Amino acid sequence: MALSEFAHTNILDTDQFSRKDLETILDTARRIDELQQQRKAFGILEGSVLASLFFESSTRTRLSFETAMNRLGGRVVSTVGFQFSSISKGETLYDTMKMVEAYADIAVIRHPVEGSSRIASAAVDIPVINAGDGTGQHPTQALLDLYTIFKERGGVDGKRVAFIGDLKFGRTIHSLIKLLFNYDVELVLISPVDLALPESYRREMKKSGMSFEETEDLKALWDCDVAYVTRIQEERFVDRSEYERLKNSYTVNRAFVQASRKDTLIMHPLPRVNELSTDVDDLPNAAYFRMAGYGVIVRMALLTLCMGETLPDAKHVTGM
Ligand code: NCD
């Protein structure tokens, strides 16, 4: 692939991508997956350092970015939480990023404030990847969600996709909906009225001509090809009693999934609380644990592309 085909160095929001960009990302991820399966080594980021800056809780996103960098032959430096960084001493994010730029070649940042990754990226000349900014965006999760639907169901066009749970605060949903503007899909938004998708997204959906319906009835997922289940985002509620009132709004369990009229693919960005029962886990259409593996592949592709690297020809790589 020629360098000019992928013009992005930063990944801040899913609306920066065209359908062509998405094809490039998916294609790069597929090729990386093949190389991994053949146990081929290609340390294309050898000598590069990733700064892994996680100022909010994370298991999958942080570990999969760090694993991805390691698998590409690069190294990782990291800081976790505000408590152990100089931000707790009053340092601004701008100053922190100026330091990071002196240490690393690329940075990935998770931060509780919406828009923070843009501030971080404006401070530095190295590529910056948003790994979740408050209730805003989580673009790399959305890209791995997209990869999952392609990998498990062969494509996205023509699919009916349900989003279930906290559509108000769930940043993974916000990012994935924006990505889906590039495809021909029908959306079914299932949530309590108080956790409905913010109006700004609905406005954009109408503008783009996307077909969608909204309901509180979980049974609407029985007609869908994909069900994207999410937890109620406890940490985003200002009023604790509101969380207590809404926290048990939905539970998707095995019997419910098996009643579906379609072979509905069950996705979840994880972590789950009680909206998705463990008795779903061993159904073949439960994709969420496989998604954790796809996350490494997709993040390897994103690190490669943002660093302006190209994958080697299959014949030029060595066995591991
Ligand atoms: C999500 C997040 O952080 O937004 N988790 C993740 O990155 N896989 C979803 C969530 O926390 O509910």
For 31-83, the pLDDT digits (tens) are 999 998 888 878 999 999 999 999 999 999 999 999 999 999 999 999 988 77
**pLDDT on residue 66:** 98
Count the helices and strands in the chain (H runs, E runs). Answer: 10, 11
For residues 9 and 22, give the distance between their C-alpha atoms in angstroms, rounded to a whole number.
14
Tell me the per-residue pLDDT of 225-269, one tens digit each, with 9 for 90 and over.
999 999 999 999 999 999 999 999 999 999 999 999 999 999 999
**pTM of the shown model:** 0.95
Whether 150 and 266 map to the same domain: the answer is yes
Whether 116 and 244 map to the same domain: the answer is no
Question: What's the domain range around 29?
Answer: 3-137+295-319
**pLDDT on residue 314:** 66
Measured in Å, residue 109 CA sits from the centre of ligand 1 at 14
User: Which residue among 141, 144, 228, 288 has the greatest number of ligand 1 atoms within 8 angstroms of its CB, and so is best to mutate?
Assistant: 141
User: Which residues pair with residue 107 across a beta bridge?
Assistant: 51, 128
Measured in Å, residue 172 CA sits from the centre of ligand 1 at 7
Tell me the per-residue pLDDT of 135-174, one tens digit each, with 9 for 90 and over.
999 999 999 999 999 999 999 999 999 999 999 999 999 9
Copy the structure tokens of residue 100.
């990071």
Whether 27 and 99 map to the same domain: the answer is yes
Whether 92 and 151 map to the same domain: the answer is no
137 lines ligand 1 (CB under 6 A): no
Whether 152 and 99 map to the same domain: the answer is no
For residues 38 and 32, give the distance between their C-alpha atoms in angstroms, rounded to a whole number.
10
Whether 166 and 39 map to the same domain: the answer is no
Whether 163 and 126 map to the same domain: the answer is no
**Stated length of the chain:** 320
Whether 192 and 281 map to the same domain: the answer is yes
- Domains held by the chain: number: 2
178 lines ligand 1 (CB under 6 A): no
Three-state SS at 209 = coil
Whether 143 and 132 map to the same domain: the answer is no
Task: Find out whether the peptide bond into 112 is cis, omega within 30 degrees of 0.
Answer: no
For residues 80 and 170, give the distance between their C-alpha atoms in angstroms, rounded to a whole number.
22
Tell me the per-residue pLDDT of 102-126, one tens digit each, with 9 for 90 and over.
999 999 999 999 999 999 999 999 9
**How many other β-carbons are positioned within 10 Å of the β-carbon of residue 294?**
22
In angstroms, the Cα distances linking 202 to 114, 161, 223, 228 are 19, 15, 21, 18
Q: List, in sequence order, every beta strand (DSSP E) within the chain.
A: 40-41, 49-54, 75-80, 106-111, 128-133, 160-164, 186-190, 211-215, 226-229, 265-267, 318-319
For residues 122 and 163, give the distance between their C-alpha atoms in angstroms, rounded to a whole number.
33
Report DSSP state, residue 183: S
**pLDDT on residue 103:** 97
| CATH number, domain containing residue 80 | 3.40.50.1370
